[in-house]
Amino acid sequence: MGTYADDIAFVKKTLAGDREAFDQLVRIHSQRVFQIIYRFFKDKLMVEDIAQEVFLKAYTSLNTYSQEAAFGSWLASITVRTCYGQLKKEKQLRDNPKSSFSYEDAALLDNFCFDHYAPGYSSPEKTVMLRDFMDKVMHRLSPKEAMVLLLTEVEGKTVREVAQLMGLSRINVKVSNFRARKHALQIIRTLSQQGYVKKRNGYE
Partner 1 sequence: MNNDCRFIKKQLNTHMRGTVSDPGRRNAVREHIRSCASCREFALEKNLSLLLKKSFNEDAPAPSEKFFKGLHQKIREASITGEQSMFAELFARAGLRLVPAMTVLVLFLSGSLAYFYKDAAGADSNSTIEDIIFFAEDNALSNDLVLAGVFFEEVRCGEK
Nearest to 42 by CA among 87, 107, 99: 87
CB of 82 to partner 1, least distance (A): 14
What is the distance between the alpha carbons of residues 192 and 107, in angstroms, rounded to a whole number?
Answer: 8
H or E element at residue 156: none
Q: How far is CA 138 from the centre of its chain?
A: 10
Q: Note whether 140 and 188 are within 8 A (CB).
A: no
Cβ nearer to partner 1, comparing 56 with 197 = 56
Phi-psi region of 156 (alpha: psi -120 to 50; beta: other; left: phi over 0): left
CB of 183 to partner 1, least distance (A): 11
Cβ nearer to partner 1, comparing 8 with 134 = 134
User: Rounded to 5 degrees, what are φ and ψ at 116?
Assistant: -60, -25
CB of 78 to partner 1, least distance (A): 14
Cβ nearer to partner 1, comparing 10 with 22 = 22
What is the distance between the alpha carbons of residues 50 and 59, in angstroms, rounded to a whole number?
Answer: 14
Cβ nearer to partner 1, comparing 20 with 68 = 20
Q: Note whether 172 and 160 are within 8 A (CB).
A: no
Cβ nearer to partner 1, comparing 104 with 110 = 110
Cβ nearer to partner 1, comparing 5 with 45 = 45
Q: How far is CA 26 from the centre of its chain?
A: 20
Tell me which residues touch partner 1 (CB under 8 A): 19, 22-23, 26-27, 30-31, 34-35, 37-39, 44, 47-48, 51-52, 55-56, 59-60, 109-110, 112-114, 116-118, 122, 127-128, 130-131, 133-134, 149-150, 153-154, 181, 184-185, 188-189, 192
CB of 153 to partner 1, least distance (A): 4
CB of 30 to partner 1, least distance (A): 5
Q: Note whether 78 and 58 are within 8 A (CB).
A: yes
CB of 88 to partner 1, least distance (A): 20
